[in-house]
């Protein structure tokens, strides 16, 4: 019996810290839940306030959009007059976060044609250089030459669209097909080898042979091709086409965009973007 009593005492001694810790965790969770409820009450109070209604009356309802996208961006350095490529850098298709703000959609009367306005920011890095000798997939190759580009863009995007399903019995489930403009401020910097200049015959011919598969030494580009270091900040514009579907504030989108950066001198940057995205809209 004394041994059994000592055993129960030992078990209780070992379990007491765990029980105490469980109580602390439970109390912490309760405190967090209570704080969250208070934040929700404060948010609702602000959203329904006279000040907020004045702002929303001017601009309409606003939404904060967060999610994830699979995006590929190509940065092209082009001659401004001929639009011929000097080099191309690609980020590859990879997942990226989405952070944007948009106004609620507006419609022309009772029609399905509407318009909207969005604000977005993204930064991106590209570490692969593309050797291109034609328009087909077999006419280009991707190489890692130790080059890179870094880009930061802030954009305003007005859009026009046609909505399918807006006026049926599922108002929170519909499709949109549209066109948009991109007005932006961008900062682009990085390094590259000038692989697309036909005037540099040794470099260009080696690139053609590399795409054809007759040579495979990537380091030879570093010997034959000139390199450059670039840093540009500028305003710019562009356009996009998109198809999106929305269901209870969840949105899936396929979009293709073009950004024209206003470079200095005889050259300019062009960014091509293809994106598949899934996001959630939160009303302000």
Q: What is the tens place of the pLDDT at every residue in 167-186?
A: 665 656 788 999 999 999 99
DSSP string, 2-33: HHHHHHHHHHHHHHHHHHHHHHHHHHHHHHHH
First to last CA, the chain: 67
CA distance 71 to 200: 32
pLDDT in tens, 185-229: 999 999 999 999 999 999 999 999 999 999 999 999 999 999 999
Confidence tier at 1 by pLDDT (50, 70, 90): very low
**Which pLDDT belongs to residue 23?**
53
Residue 167: strand, helix, or coil: coil
**Which pLDDT belongs to residue 156?**
92
> Hey, what CATH topology would domain 61-283 get?
Porin (2.40.160)
**Which pLDDT belongs to residue 171?**
58
Query: If you average pLDDT over residues 243-258, what whole number do you get?
Result: 91
pLDDT in tens, 13-59: 444 444 444 454 455 445 545 554 554 565 455 555 555 555 444 45
**Which pLDDT belongs to residue 195?**
95
Residues 128 and 93 sit within 8 Å (Cβ to Cβ) = no
**Which pLDDT belongs to residue 134?**
84
| Span of 100-114, 129-143, 256-270 with lowest mean pLDDT | 256-270
pLDDT value at 4 more than 50: no
The overall average pLDDT reported for the chain is 80
Domain regions of the chain by residue span:
1-48, 61-283
**Which pLDDT belongs to residue 164?**
86
Non-local (6+) Cβ contacts of 102 within 8 A are 62, 63, 65, 116, 117, 118, 119, 281
pLDDT in tens, 103-133: 888 888 888 899 999 888 888 889 999 999 8
């Amino acid at each position: 019996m004394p041994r059994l009593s000592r055993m129960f005492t030992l078990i209780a001694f070992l379990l007491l810290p765990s029980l105490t810790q469980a109580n602390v965790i439970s109390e912490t969770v309760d405190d967090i839940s209570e704080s969250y409820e208070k934040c929700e009450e404060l948010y609702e109070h602000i959203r329904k306030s006279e000040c907020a209604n004045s702002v929303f009356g001017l601009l309409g309802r606003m939404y904060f959009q967060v999610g994830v996208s699979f995006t590929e961006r190509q940065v092209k350095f082009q001659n401004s007059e001929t639009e011929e490529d000097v080099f191309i850098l690609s980020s590859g298709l990879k997942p990226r976060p989405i952070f944007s703000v948009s106004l609620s959609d507006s419609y022309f009367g009772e029609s399905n044609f509407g318009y909207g306005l969005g604000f977005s920011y993204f930064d991106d890095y590209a570490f692969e250089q593309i050797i291109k000798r034609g328009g087909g997939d077999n006419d280009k190759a991707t190489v890692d030459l130790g080059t890179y580009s870094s880009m930061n863009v802030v954009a305003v995007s007005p859009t026009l669209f046609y909505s399918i399903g807006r006026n049926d019995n599922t108002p929170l489930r519909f499709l949109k097909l549209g066109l948009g403009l991109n007005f932006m401020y961008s900062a682009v910097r990085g390094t590259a080898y000038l692989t697309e200049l036909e005037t540099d015959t040794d470099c260009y011919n080696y690139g053609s042979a590399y795409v054809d598969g007759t040579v495979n030494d990537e380091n030879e580009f570093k010997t034959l091709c000139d390199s450059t270091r670039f840093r540009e900040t500028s305003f710019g514009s562009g356009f996009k086409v998109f198809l999106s579907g929305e269901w209870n504030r969840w949105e899936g989108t396929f979009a293709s965009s073009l950004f024209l950066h206003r470079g200095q001198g005889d050259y300019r940057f062009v960014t091509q973007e293809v994106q598949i995205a899934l996001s959630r809209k939160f009303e302000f």
